[in-house]
Structure 1
Amino acid sequence: MLIRDARLAGGRRRDVRIESERIADVAAAGSLDEDGDDVVDADGRLLLPGAIDVHVHFRQPGYPHKETWATGSRSAAAGGVTTVVDQPNTDPPTVTGEAFAEKATLAADSLVDYGINGGVTEAWDPDSLFAAPLFALGEVFLADSTGDMGIDADLFADAVERAAAAGVPVTVHAEDASLFDQSVRAGDADGIGCDADADRWSAFRTAAAEARAVERAVEVASGADAQVHIAHTSTPEGIDAATAAGATCEVSPHHILLSRDDLSELGTYGRMNPPLRSEARRQAVFERVVDGTVDVVATDHAPHTVEEKERGLWDAPSGVPGVETMLPLLLDLARRDELTYARVRDLVSANPAAVFDLPRKGRIETGADADVVLVDPDTPREIRGDDLHSKCGWTPFEGRQGVFPDLTLVRGRVVYERVGAEERFGTPAGENVRR
């Protein structure tokens, strides 16, 4: 394939030739001969390296009514995500080599490339898990995305030491449950009516709980000389604690774009872990995304059914879908000059590839995997849950604008193409990035 006259994130117009799953040549626009290639005329549209979403929950095995590898990866491809990293809180949880192998079998349905995070619970088997082609050690500290609290401090220290010895980064969900405001839940028991007040979830899971957990995680990791990556930081204090200690961190689109001010409209659909924060904190988080403090944007794509999300504040599961809307939302911010296209590229492609040691991903250069996304920034469209491809069928970003892909390639294969109102998907051929 030859992609003719594409604009890269830095503004240069280039031809890009793809051969045998890799980028074979990048040259000035109009300088490469077609030579029998399948030619895509970009006509100045923006060409980006495929996004790497290092934090998704595709729900298999255990919860296919919420999402599957087939539906989740279709959603990813339609949103310009070419690699995903699945988290371990499935059923069974990915805490043994056997569970890893079961999930890898299901991942054969994926359109996009993938990594599989292992996790740490009281039942984990480090010997068999580290024998598996592990992407990274995922969500191991103080809370996981199910809301289950606590692992033993010694167990965490052991996991960090083993990860450091294996050269595996540790992805940490940092919330200290001991700092949650239990009086908020006690108020519900007194009949205050928390089910009608989704803001109470944010009041319950305090901002201080995140910052303190980050401090504890990086303190343990520093003693083992381990690489720590803090997942879905939601406060400026958490981000600053991570960066001050030399850890990397990620922010999710919902913590960039939504705040407690939105909860009157979102209701229980806005319940997530960590929760939405004040508008002032949201703005401070966004400033750190813009200025380069934040390393990565990742979605924590956590789909649940409409029925599940409408159970009431204390019974609804935490989490929102996001893998399909991450890149479109960021590109719309760039279209409106709130970010640069180069910064978007770094947040979702170049930096994730560097943090998680994926040297062939995240860049448009000779020799890199041909994971690319072609978009027209001048044609945003309204985000509607009915138009998205996640199995859950809803989005917290209903009605916002997004810049969606015209074409998504994974290692040179067309996995998604949109022409007018018609959409076409490729066939599943995703590979484990630790192959």
Structure 2
Amino acid sequence: MLIRNATLADGRVRDIRIDGERIAEIGEGLDAEDDVLDADEKRLLPGMIDAHVHFREPGYSHKETWTTGSRSAAAGGVTTVFDQPNTDPPTIDGATFDQKAGLAEVSAVDYGINGGVTDAWNPDELLEKPLAALGEVFLADSTGDMGIEADLFEEAVERAEAADVTVTVHAEDADLFDESAKERDDADAWSAYRTAEAEAEAVERACSVAADLGAEIHIAHTSTPEGVDIASEAGMTCEVTPHHLFLSRDDLDDLGTLGRMNPPLRSETRRENVFERLVDGTVDIVATDHAPHTRDEKDAGIWDAPSGVPGVETALPLLLEEARKGTIDYERVRDVTAANVADIFELPRKGEIAEDNDADLVLVDPDASVPIRGEKLHSRCGWTPFEGRQAVFPELTMVRGAVVFHEGAFAEGGGQNVRRSG
């Protein structure tokens, strides 16, 4: 295929020739000896690499499946996902890795599988598998018995460093949660309970342990400017989520328990400061922490509803809307959704539109801004915390040269493990 007249993130208009799975040539006025797609100067971006999703299989397929989750990803311009280990059973040894790998074969997009760390994990088996990363490793009671003690955290970091596997960390210090908030039952009580100080302290502790071991770690879903700054100053990388970039405690009266997640929503001032760090380059990447639950499950009191929101289909469209408005530039969107992710997680043929890279491409019309509607999204859960917000959705998504999504239609399967041998 030849994609003609595509506007790249840096504003250049170029032709892109695709040969098989790879980008073969980038130039101007390339010979049209292949099938031609005229981009008509619309934006062509590298597909988003979402390093943090929960596709819920095995164990919770009523919330999401690899089929529904990966289609939702493709419709949102995501071409690679990293699935987290807290499924049932959790991905903590060779057998559970193989079980999840078998389920993931139906994925419409490329994928990685993260390994988990619990008291029952088998690092000898797990670290022999083609893992995307280790984590998210929990330092709090975020997901039941997935939380671990300090000595096990140190062991996990040491073992992963020796195996050249990135460790991603969920950093919240449960000792700094505000127990007095449990006397409340309003929607803001969860944010009051899981304090910003609890995150900052845990990020500092995790970074200190890693530095003492001569290792590097990646801080997941950083929700506070303090956490972002601590990770950056320590020389570690961090991610932020769309919900922490675009939602705050001010939205909780409308969201109710649909706005409960871990870490929780923060003040509007903190949200603004996190967004500023996204724009100025302090934040390394955006990842969604796509964690769907059914509406029935969310229809509970603030202390009983499960934590988590969907986001894999709306992350890039929300950022593209900000680029359309001029609050962030397209090059920065490219970096935080693709180029930096590929660098952190060592995906040398992904993340950039460059010759010999995988043809993971997303075509968008910057002027096609529409309101987000949960009923039109493709996640099994059928709702979104961003209902009614403006976004720019892709019209075409390609994974390694194959069109997997085009104007509402999907191709079957086709995704591969990014750590596959060879």
Shorter-chain-normalised TM-score: which range?
Answer: over 0.9
The amino acid of 2:31's aligned partner reads D
Aligned partner (choices 386, 391, 395) of residue 397 of structure 1: 386
Which AA in structure 2 matches 1:234? S
Q: Distance in 1 between matches of 2:361 and 2:140?
A: 35
CA distance in 1, matches of 2:58, 2:143: 15
Residue aligning to 2:133: 136
Task: State the distance in 2 between where 1:389 and 1:316 align.
Answer: 22
- Measure the CA separation in 2 of the matches of 1:235 and 1:23: 38
Query: Cα distance, 1:148 vs. partner?
Result: 4.7
Q: d(CA) in 2 for partners of 1:215 and 1:287?
A: 21
Asked if 1:241 is matched to 2:254, the reply is no
Deviations 1:257-295 (A, max 9, x none): 000000000000000000000011001101000100000
- 1:52·1:352 contact (CA, 8 Å) conserved in 2? yes
Distance 1:314 1:262 in 2: 18
**AA at the equivalent of 1:18:** I
1:12 corresponds in structure 2 to 12
Provide the residue aligned with 1:425 in structure 2: 410
8 Å CA contact 1:46, 1:377 repeated in 2: yes
Query: Matches of 1:407 and 1:91 in 2, distance apart?
Result: 34
The aligned residue for residue 382 of structure 1 is: 371
SS in 2 for 1:266: helix
Q: Which residue number in structure 2 is paired with residue 219 of structure 1? A: 208
Contact 1:144–1:173 (CA<8 Å) still a contact in 2?
no
1:335 aligned residue: 324
After TM superposition, which residue ranges in structure 1, 4 or more long, deviate above 2 angstroms? 143-150
Check whether the contact 1:141–1:172 (CA below 8 A) recurs between aligned residues. yes
Shift of 1:149: 6.8
**Residues in 2 aligned to 1:311 and 1:93: alpha-carbon distance in whole angstroms:** 25
Quickly say closer, same or farther: Cα 1:144–1:329, change in 2 above 3 A: farther
Match of 2:26 in 1: 26
Q: Is the 8 A contact 2:86 2:146 kept in 1?
A: no
Selected match of 2:40 from 38, 43, 64: 43
Partner amino acid for 2:54?
H
Structure-2 separation of matches of 1:149 and 1:92: 12
Measure, in 2, the Cα distance between the counterparts of 1:103 and 1:203.
36
C-alpha contact 1:141 1:217 (8 A) present in aligned 2:
no
Find the aligned partners of 1:226 and 1:385 in 2 and give their Cα distance: 41
Of 341, 350, 360, the residue aligned with 1:352 is: 341
TM-score (norm: length of structure 2)? 0.98
TM-score normalised by L of structure 1? 0.95
The equivalent position to 1:229 in structure 2, one of 211, 218, 238, is: 218
Equivalent-residue separation in structure 2 for 1:98 and 1:223 (angstroms)? 33
Contact 1:89–1:144 at 8 Å: present in 2 too? no
1:90 aligns with 2:54: no
Following superposition, the deviation at residue 143 of structure 1 comes to 2.9
| Amino acid in structure 2 at the alignment position of 1:6 | A
CA contact (8 A) 1:89 1:145 kept: no
For 1:213-362, what aligned pairs fall within 5 Å after superposition?
A: 213-362=202-351
CA distance in 1, matches of 2:167, 2:395: 35
- Could you tell me which runs of 5 or more consecutive residues in structure 1 were left unpaired when the two chains were aligned: 189-193
Distance (whole Å) between structure 2 residues aligned to residue 345 and residue 374 of structure 1: 13
Paired-residue identity, %: 69
- Structure 1 distance, partners of 2:153, 2:246, is 32
Q: CA RMSD in A?
A: 0.9
Say if 2:118 and 2:145, in contact at 8 Å, map to a contact too.
no
Residue of structure 1 equivalent to 2:64: 67
Deviations 1:326-379 (A, max 9, x none): 000000000000000000000000000000000000010000000000000011
Q: What is the SS of the residue equivalent to 2:127?
A: helix
| Deviation string, structure 1 residues 147-175 (Cα, Å, up to 9, x no partner) | 55731211111110001111111100000
Task: Flag the 1:225–1:141 CA change in 2: closer, same or farther, 3 A.
Answer: farther
* Local SS of the residue matching 1:74: helix
Q: Distance in 2 between matches of 1:184 and 1:145?
A: 17
Post-superposition offset of 1:145: 5.0
Offset at 1:183?
Answer: 1.1
2 CA distance for matches of 1:157 and 1:392?
Answer: 36
